[in-house]
Structure formats: structure tokens, C-alpha cells
Structure 1
């Protein structure tokens, strides 16, 4: 009996020193090794698609989920899969607008949704705000992704949260009328479309500018260099931002260790490693962004709570569908 109790005790100790992180993009080995070295807690990274699909299974041993866009976390939250990560360290570092009010999801880094344009064909004064993308002067010149992409849903949801449904619907209708082609492809395809003359204005995440500049393809480098970049709404609410975030899962069997990992990822050193390759912006104000993304310049961010944006995601999708967006 004593032997069984000791075996169980050792099993609990082993469990307390191991966590499972589900992340489709994985995790920089530097961060995993640093965390294990500092805490003695082993972190298992699950990024295989088949294994990721099992994250929400009844017998799941998932502790943490790391993903992109507030819409991803809103779905998990609506499905009642998340648990609050109570931590004074988290609360002291992450701005309130970049995390759930109960810390069920927490922003680790952030990105801007920028406007790009053909410097030879477009006067930048014409497109200083998101609202300008609906101007009739841009008819046949705008390139955007499909409406079911999280980035576009979140952008429209932010417009609803800031300006109301009526203005958001006007914007969605105007941008639909201005499309140079049916929406297709990723953010980089919109940039390439501008470079190739298919359109003259596009919308994309800020880090893709750096991805194109750092590409091994000369055509991608030329694409990036040909584009003008605008951080919209600088005279108003500021540029829409979204997050790469992390969430503590209800299935976690080691919540204390999982929260330690979140706290670690918010440290200055970890933040700078994280954004050195993603080229997003750190949420820790003491951490510096990569030199490449910093070269795009400082800008005013929309400070609206992403909780409010998440609350409008369903309305955003409804508007897109009603107007016939693809």
C-alpha cells in the first residue's frame, strides 16, 4: 500500500513538472529551452494537425492553447473550453484591451491591419482611414481577402464596435463595390496583386511587409519595396490591432505551471525573442519590436477592448453574408 502511495505521489510530481501547449505554429525552441531551464517544467509542443484536432476531446490533457486572432479565442470561450489565468504578473503587463476581462485569453503580441498601395498610382491622401476604402474613387482598385477570414471579420467587427452597425454596413457595401476581383488568396496575394497591377490598394497585416522583404524570392522583395504603407485612422481612433494570444484550458491538469508559462512569455526577454521572428509588436511595453517592423514607424493604436470586438464578430459575418461578400 505504501509503495502504491509513493508511486502515485511521484506521478503527481511528474505531472506538476510538465505541461502541454497546443500551437499550430509551434514555439521557438529558444523559448521552450529557456522556460524549462528557468522553471524545471517540461513543455510539450503539440502542433500536428491531427493531434491539434484532439485538443478538445473529453480525455484531453491539453493545458494551453496558443493561436492567432481574437475570433479564435472567442470561439473557444463560447464553447466553454477556457479557464481564467489569475495572475498579478499578467494583469500588470498586458493592457486591459488586449486580454479577456477574466484572463480566459491573453494577448502575447499584436499586429496592425494596414492599408498598402501602389505608390505610382495612388495618392496616399485618398486612403488615410479604413472608411476611405469605400470611396467611389477606388472602384475597381481594391484587393481584399474573403469575408470568412478571421482578419477581415475582426476588422469589420471593430468598425461595428466603434461606429455602429449602420456605418459598418455602408463600409462593407462600399468596399465590396470597389473590389478589383473576387476576394481570394492570403494577405501576401493582395500585396502581389497591387504590385502586378490587378488592383492599386490592399489590406494586410503589418508583419507580412517584413515577410515579403525577407523572402528569398526577388519578386516578393520587389513587391514589398513597391508598396506604400498606411496605418489608418491616425487622426481618429487609431489603427485596428489584433493579437497572437494564449489561453488556459479547462482540461489542464497543471494550471499553476501553465500560468507560469504565460507569465514567462510576457517577460521582456521572452517577448523580444517571440517578436524577433514573427515581426509582431510586443505587449510588454519594456520589450522592443524587431528592427524591421520598427522601421515602419510608430503609430496610434485603436485602444478599444478586443472583448468588444469579439462581441461583434457574429454581426460582422451577418453583414458580409447579407451583402453577398464571398
Structure 2
């Protein structure tokens, strides 16, 4: 009896090993993506067409994907993880959700400041596109020169005019993390206090809602990611065109630190079963074709310096000075940033 039972166990283990081997070799890629843009569909289709690798995709926001990865642990089927915020990339790296990658293609094409982790072991994540945090203002009620910097939004002249999304949102936490790095915690907390005093309404909604609030006159000035602004400028809807005629935008801090930039990036999942396909996918996203698509399809800036931008709205928005703050620093500043917001009542 014992001998027969042992043989059955051995056979079961052999069968499972065989199944795992087939699964590992399957020509497929399991993608966990916080990117929720319809324009990315063509990117994925082109990758499959070029490589024959089929993409299975799960889409959710960064926080949901990270919680799913925590829950799945070693059993996670994820091969590639795409996140759309510097702080989230840093947090996922710290929590050990990624694995290092040595790739000549990625190292040559992605700037060092847009790669995370120990470069000696291989970067753990790679920035793939960037977006700027711009200031949007009402052309009638606000003077452009009075909202030229992030710091100016907390000035008394803008009392009752400021709108933002929730302070707890990663876009805001990353901006505040960068401000802590530049200006220190004390100055940043004073700024946050001024922002609360200047609110036109309690923080709510997404970036498009902030732009709409400025156009309607409910807000005088707001913060938004650049690609939301560009998307509305490219819209053919008459109501969007009418709305955008009422607002202007500012590249903040052009005479000082430069405009805050956030990053969308990708990584190979720690427990991937399709590592070769995962690396190949990241290399594809750094290709000229994919980089151009980030710009022309979703109004983001490519990270590869040789990329050609044919997006007329991005060209119209012009060149600007960007801040020089490391993403690692922004990530590490998330905890003090949240504490500052809690102390000043920035909901």
C-alpha cells in the first residue's frame, strides 16, 4: 500500500512538473496594466503581430494591481507590470514585486534617471513615457503671471480659486514628494496650508474634472497632467473646443526648478513564467515605433531622446524646462508627504 501510494505521488509530481514546463514555454504574455487607454490596443496588437506572442491583459489602477500581486504572491501569473506613477513604481520595487533585468537595448535607450533599482544587478523597472504636471487657469478670472509656479497657488491672491484632485492621489503625492526634495518639509507644509486656504471646493474628481471646473468658472486655477489637457485640445467635439477656448495653461517653475514630471513604467514581474517574452515586450515598448505611439496616440512624451514626435498638439504646447528630481527621492518622500497633507487637512 505504501509503495503504491508513493508511486501515485511521484506520478502526480511528474505530471505537475510537465504542466508547469509547458506553461512556461507557452507563447503568451500575462500583462498587469494600470494603463487604461484605448490607444494602447494598437501597441499590443503590433507586438503580437511582430512576435507571435499573445497578450493576456488585466487592467486596473495601480493600487488594485499591487494589492492583487500581494495576494497572489508566488502563484501570480503576471509576467509584466505597467504602472503609471513614480511613487507606485518605487513602492512596488521596495516590496519586491519586480525582478532585475539586464538588457543592452533597454540600457541604451532608457535614460539612467528613468530606471529603478541596482544597476549593477540590472534595473528593476524602466520608465517608458512621461507626463508633466501643468497649471490650468481661467483666462478671464486669473492672470497668468499670478500662477506661474506651484508655490504661487498658495499665495493669498489665489484665495478661493484653487481646485485639485484628492491629496491622497498618487499624482499629488508625487508632486508633493518632489517639492519636499526641492524645498524641504517645513516649506512644503506651509505651501500645503496655503493650498487648503485657497481651495475653491474640496478636492475631488480626476484631472479632466479640474479642467472643466476651470472652464466653468467654479475654479480659477487647477493642476492637471499634460496629456489630459492635450487630449481635450485634440478633441473634435464642439463642447470640448468651446471649453478649451476658456482656459490656458502654464509650464510651472520655468524660472527656477522646472516643471514636475511623472513617469509611466514597466517591469518584469518577480514570479514570471515567461521571462524572455517579458523582456522582449519591454524592449518593444522602448522601440521607435512604440515610443512614437505614446506621443502620437496618448499625448505623452517619449523617454527615448531620438523619438520623433508628430503630435501637433504637443508641438503646439512647446518646449519647457523640466525638474531634476530623482524618482527614488520622490518615492521615499511619500510618507512625509502624506503626513503633511494629514496635518493640514488636505483631503
TM-score normalised to the size of structure 2? 0.85
Show CA shifts across 1:147-204 (max 9, x none). 1111111110000011111111111111111111111111111111111111211110
Q: Distance in 2 between matches of 1:183 and 1:46?
A: 29
* 1: CA distance, partners of 2:218 / 2:45: 45
The number of equivalent residue pairs is 322
TM-aligned CA distance change 1:48 to 1:163, over 3 Å: closer
Cα distance in 1 between the residues matched to 2:32 and 2:117: 22
Aligned partners of 1:115 and 1:231 also within 8 Å: yes
Residue of 199, 203, 221 corresponding to 1:183: 203
* 1:48 to partner: Cα distance: 6.8
Looking at structure 1, the residues matched to 85 and 245 of structure 2 have their Cα atoms a distance apart, in angstroms, of 27
Aligned match of 2:90: 74
1:271–1:282 CA contact under 8 A, matched in 2: yes
Quote the offset at 1:84 in angstroms: 1.3
User: What does residue 263 of structure 2 align with?
Assistant: 243
SS across alignment from 2:223 = strand
- Cα offset for 1:43? 2.5
CA distance in 1, matches of 2:215, 2:44: 39
Deviation at 1:18, TM superposition (A): 2.2
Partner of 1:43: 55
SS in 1 for 2:135: strand
Alpha-carbon distance change, 14 to 181 in structure 1, aligned in 2, over 3 angstroms: closer
Report matched runs for 1:9-20 at 5 Å: 11-12=21-22, 15=25, 17-20=27-30
Q: Using the TM superposition, give the Cα deviation of residue 9 of structure 1 relative to its aligned residue in structure 2, in angstroms.
A: 9.9
CA 1:200–1:48 in 2, change beyond 3 Å: closer, same or farther?
Answer: closer
Which protein has the larger Cα radius of gyration, Structure 1 or Structure 2? 2
* Contact persistence 1:212–1:221 (CA under 8 A): yes
In structure 1, the residue matched to 2:157 is 137
- For the 8 Å contact 1:26–1:47, the answer to whether it is kept is no
Residues 29-59 of structure 1, C-alpha deviations (whole Å, 9 max, x = no match): 332232233334333222278x956444031
1:21 aligns with 2:31: yes
Find the aligned partners of 2:209 and 2:192 in 1 and give their Cα distance.
Answer: 21
Name the Cα RMSD after superposition: 2.4
- For residues 42 and 160 of structure 2, the distance between their equivalents in structure 1, rounded to whole angstroms, comes to 46
User: SS at the partner of 1:202?
Assistant: strand
Q: SS in structure 1 opposite 2:339?
A: helix
Deviation at 1:262, TM superposition (A): 0.5
Q: Distance in 1 between matches of 2:231 and 2:87?
A: 23
Structure 2: runs of 5 or more not aligned: 1-10
Measured in 2, the distance between the counterparts of 1:14 and 1:171 equals: 51
How does the TM-score come out when normalised to structure 1?
Answer: 0.91
1:26: how far off? 6.6
- 1:208 offset after TM fit, Å? 1.0
Structure 1 spans left out of the alignment, 5+ residues:
none
For residue 119 of structure 1, what is the aligned residue in structure 2? 139
Match of 1:61 in 2: 77
Are residues 1:313 and 2:323 paired?
no
Task: Show the counterpart of 1:107.
Answer: 127
1:181-238 CA distances to partner (integer Å, 9 max, x unpaired)? 1111111111111111112111101011122234465333222222111001111121
Aligned to 2:107: 91
